Amino acid sequence: MRFRLLGLFLLLLAAPHMSAAANYPCSGKKGGVARCDGPLFVCNDGSISGSKRTCSAGQQGGGTSALRATGNTASECPCGGGTLCTGPRGGQYCLTASGSKSYRRK
């Protein structure tokens, strides 16, 4: 009985640390934060994080370029380049290194 209570107590102590890890921008397969691109987090895989947090100069990378939204061709909108393209339905995105679109969360 004592060991079960001890085990439960240790599990409860560790629970907040386990949930906090999943809430960091660019976690999991994205490989972590590479840098900031204005208010957005650019992940190590080249995509934009879906995080609702705002990236600041004090965080990873420190780049604080101002983002511009354009209607130009997608080749002018690489992720981390400071420019986002606007799609036909108003969504803003950039192109990752693999050529896929990474949309900015609204």
Give tens-digit pLDDT for 3-44.
Answer: 566 666 666 666 554 544 557 888 888 889 888 888 888 888
Handedness of CA 38, 43, 46, 50 (dihedral sign): negative
Residue 47 lies in a domain: yes
Residue 5 lies in a domain: no
The region, left, alpha or beta by phi > 0 then psi within -120 to 50, assigned to residue 95 is beta
Give the pLDDT of residue 37: 82
Task: Give Cα 97 to chain centroid, integer Å.
Answer: 15
User: How many distinct structural domains can be found in the chain?
Assistant: 1
Q: Is the pLDDT of residue 103 over 70?
A: yes
Residue 15 lies in a domain: no
Residue 13 lies in a domain: no
Give the pLDDT of residue 94: 86
Residue 16 lies in a domain: no
Q: Which of 41-45, 65-69, 89-93 has the lowest mean pLDDT?
A: 65-69
Q: Is the pLDDT of residue 80 over 60?
A: yes
Residue 69 lies in a domain: yes
Domain extent for 52:
23-103
Residue 2 lies in a domain: no
Residue 14 lies in a domain: no
DSSP state of 39: T
